Amino acid sequence: MNVNSFGDICECKIKEIAKDVVKKAEYGVDCLYLSIDINVLDPAYAPGVSSPEPGGLTTRELLKFLKHILNRQIAGVDIVETNPLRDINNATLNVIRSLSYPLT
């Protein structure tokens, strides 16, 4: 597993991180499975999570990251860690919808 802190993302271009993640993940496999933990996003964009953590990514940053990895052979995708009871005005649901378009 590859872990990048928010500081890593701020100091490095998203494209470079995505490239590095894919390079490590693709080694010796035919396809990838992508799991998106929605609380990677700042609660301002996705408040409907059980453990909101300020200082997360913006929706735009996550979409940029996805753009750079979705040209690979992807076997499946899930979006996890949502909590509809904590969502405000369907903000998290709308973010998930916007993430779904590039995934289809």
Per-residue pLDDT tens for 62-89?
988 888 777 777 888 899 999 999 999 9
- Rounded to an integer, what distance in angstroms lies between the CA atom of residue 98 and that of residue 23? 26
Quick: pLDDT tens for 39-57: 999 999 999 999 998 988 9
- Report the half-sphere exposure of 97 (CA within 13 A, side-chain side): 5
The amino acid present at 83, given as its one-letter code, is N
What angle do the packed helices 14-26 and 59-69 form, to 10 degrees?
40
pLDDT at 10: 59
The region of weakest confidence among 21-30, 49-58, 87-96 is 21-30
CA nearest to 41, candidates 64, 13, 62, 16: 62
- Given a contact cutoff of 8 angstroms between Cβ atoms, the answer to whether 57 and 41 are in contact is yes
